[in-house]
A and B are shown apart, each in its own frame.
Chain A
Amino acid sequence: MVGQLVEGPVTGQLPQRARRNYTPYLLLLPGMAWLVLFFVVPMISLFSQSLQTGNVETGYVMTWNFQTYVDALSQFWPHFVRSLVFAGTATLFALLLAYPLAYFMAQKSGRWKNILLVLVIAPFFTSFLIRTLAWQTILSDNGPVVAFARAIHFTDLLQLMHLTSNDSLMNSPFAVMAGLTYNFLPFMILPLYASLERLDHGLIEAAGDLYANPAETFWKVTWPLSLPGVVGGTLLTFIPAAGDFINARLLGNTNTVMIGQVIDSEFLRVQDYAVAAALSFVLMLMITTMVAVYVRRAGTEELV
């Protein structure tokens, strides 16, 4: 009906008289002011800090010193690369693990759906640190898991792939990536689940009716339609993983130092604020570029 097409502002609001409606601006003001003051301004401050010279005792002076970036990157580029590799691997494995679970929950779990949802969400609410510490216990050198891994020569395989340097699972790249995968799994599962839940089961039946076997149905129908969830989950997993250092610190060794750790130590231990800020800013740029590419494709309405 024509009358239902237009109802004043976006959805369902009563039509106002033709004067400027200040309500949205008033509603937005406190929150957005907070965001601008404590998010945008600090970013600017970060960038500015990266171009200053000095130290903590004598104070910092703005010198537009871009050399800091060159120095920082030449010293720490391996850490950047390592972080991206670890995060990328963790994201990939998270996707491989999350997809079957999300699919099962969305399409096949019936009565159990809510229970499964609870079981997926609940661990997320418990301490990130404590769970990672638990991995220390699980992978510890004297535990049953390591014994089993040694027995089936899994540790040998890992050594071959340079994912561990001796026949233990702890304090190795393997442990770090396993921890990253584990910790960010819910971030991959939930968007995937949301996407797959909306998938009309009738489409899968239609594909079968049109002679597609299960593999074809998956690649031609299910996968493309779940892509928004895949992309969302990938972003939500990769981004925090790239900047994480808790897993690297608790489960890794001196050869698995990620860029997050570098930034943390440069700020809080070495207290070389300029270098730390430069590294932080570069990391931010990398992430923003990825988000920008996504936004270019998909627009901003689906972001929030």
Chain B
Amino acid sequence: MRWLRAHLVGIAGLLVMSYMLIPNLVVILFSFNKPAGHYNYQWQQFSTDAWTNPCGTPGICDSLGLSLQIGFIATVVATILGTMIAFAISRHRFRGRSSTNLLIFLPMATPEVVMGSSLLTLFIAMGIAPGTPTILIAHILFCMSFVVVTVKARIASLDPRLEQAAADLFANPFQAFVRVTLPLVAPGIAAGALLAFSLSFDDYIITNFNASPSSVTFPMYVWGAAQRGTPVQINVIGTVMFLAALLLVAGGQLISNRRAKAAA
């Protein structure tokens, strides 16, 4: 009983953790299912069919490809623009600081429905047809703010005296930036890029508002499938995503731990 009280927080914590992970485990489990009908709700029998034939269902791999493409481009652009903003805010004084902060924050606080629908009204008013370009524009928009936050946090943890030391050692501002600042901020930029990619890849609502029948991204495919019938391949891809995410995040942690030890 005493043990229970002392470890109450830990037990509660672990219970919550399980609550969070169970759906992922269900996804993994049911990727090995061979459902009787269109929907994958009930366990029928173990089968690796879906794993051996991941692109079996028509459209699924095309949508995956489109999502990856959009994700990649959106990540690159959002990371570059976001990093520039982060440096501007962290390292310089300028007028309009609070409006800038607010404008960067608002996209993160806006419900996706509002953001998606407002972009739609803009494109309608401008006469631009929805499709892949509009999806791209929308994705870059909402990813940027998250990149700013991530990179800004990393810049804040940087010792400003390191740049002074670089100047003291004959590095002009450009050299100091490339040789000292950038390598040290790189992990933050990488984290921001990762975040941007996952946000872009996973987005349904905003994408849906700005897409056309010919530009089906993976989330849109899944949504459609949820109405028609959920092929097991969806679980396969879900599992792969989960494992890839685990590896990436775990890898990132390992690298930052090693750096932390070296810099301690």
Direct contact between A and B in the complex (CB less than 8 angstroms)?
yes
In the complex with contacts A31-B85, A38-B138, A101-B12, A21-B92 CB distance below 8 A: yes
Q: Roughly how many angstroms separate A30 CA and B148 CA in the complex, as a whole number? A: 13
A42 to B116, CA, bound (A): 9
Enumerate B192-228 residues with CB–CB distance to A below 8 Å.
Answer: 194, 198, 201-202, 204-205, 208-209, 218-219, 222-223, 226
| B129 interface residue per 8 A CB criterion | no
A267 to B42, CA, bound (A): 35
Cβ B122 vs Cβ A41 within 8 A: yes
Flag the segment in B22-30, B48-56, B182-190 that touches A.
Answer: B22-30
The reply to whether B253 and A117 form a contact with Cβ atoms under 8 Å apart is yes
Give the segment of A137-145, A149-157, A160-168, A205-213 that binds chain B: A137-145
Q: Which residue of A lies closest to B160 (CB)?
A: A12
B113–A264 CB distance below 8 A: yes
CA gap between A219 and B110 in the complex, in Å: 32
Is B137 an interface residue, CB under 8 A from the partner? yes
Residue A239 contacts which of B10, B109, B144 (CB distance < 8 angstroms)?
A: B109
Q: Are A45 and B121 neighbours in the complex by a CB distance under 8 Å?
A: yes
Q: B257 contacts the other chain (Cβ, under 8 Å)?
A: yes
B19 x A23 contact (CB < 8 A): no
Verify A304–B101 contact, CB threshold 8 A: yes
Q: Which of B43-97 contact A (CB under 8 A)?
A: 81-82, 84-85, 87-94, 97
B93-126 CB contact bits vs A (8 Å, 1 = yes)?
1100110111111111111111101111110110
Q: Is the CB of B120 within 8 A of A267?
A: yes
CA distance A7 to B93 in the complex (A): 12
- The answer for the CA separation of A256 and B194 in the assembled complex, in Å, is 35
Tell whether, in the assembled complex, residue A133 and residue B219 are in contact, meaning their CB atoms are under 8 Å apart: no
Which chain A residues lie closer than 8 Å to B202 at the CB level?
125-129
Whether the Cβ atoms of B235 and A39 lie closer than 8 Å is no
A131: interface (CB < 8 Å): yes
CA distance A242 to B109 in the complex (A): 11
Please determine whether B101 and A300 come into contact, CB atoms closer than 8 angstroms: yes
Given A24-B88, A35-B144, A284-B111, the answer on whether A121 and B249 have CB atoms closer than 8 Å is yes
Bin the interface of chain B by size. Answer: 35 or more
Complex partner residue of A122 from B87, B100, B159, B246, CB under 8 angstroms:
B246
State A137–B22 Cα separation when bound (angstroms).
11
The A104-124 residues at the B interface (CB cut-off 8 A) are: 104-105, 108-109, 114, 116-124
CB distance from B179 to the nearest CB of A (A): 15
Contacts of A242 in B (CB 8 A): 111
* Complex: A138 Cα to B249 Cα, angstroms: 27
- Of A104, A105, A259, A295, most B-chain CB atoms within 10 Å: A104
Interface of B is mostly: helix
> A23-B92, A100-B12, A239-B109 in contact; A134/B117 too (CB < 8 A)?
no
User: Across the interface, do B209 and A42 meet the contact criterion of CB distance under 8 Å?
Assistant: no
| Smallest beta-carbon distance B105→chain A, Å | 4
Q: Of the candidates A21, A35, A131, which one forms a contact with B107 in the assembled complex, judged by CB atoms under 8 Å apart?
A: A35
List 16 A–B pairs whose Cβ atoms lie within 8 Å, in order of A's numbering.
A10-B92, A28-B84, A28-B89, A31-B82, A35-B107, A39-B103, A105-B13, A133-B230, A138-B23, A182-B19, A243-B114, A246-B205, A264-B208, A300-B101, A303-B101, A304-B148
Given contacts A42-B115, A125-B248, A134-B27, list 9 more A-B pairs with CB under 8 A: A24-B92, A32-B85, A109-B13, A121-B245, A123-B20, A123-B245, A125-B241, A125-B245, A299-B98
B residues sitting closer than 8 Å to A (CB atoms) are 9-10, 12-14, 16-17, 19-24, 26-27, 30, 40-42, 81-82, 84-85, 87-94, 97-98, 100-115, 117-122, 124-125, 137-138, 140-141, 144-145, 148-149, 152, 158-161, 163-164, 167, 173, 194, 198, 201-202, 204-205, 208-209, 218-219, 222-223, 226, 230, 234-235, 237-238, 241-242, 245-246, 248-250, 253, 257
Closest 6 CB pairs of A and B: A12-B160, A243-B111, A104-B13, A24-B92, A125-B245, A42-B118
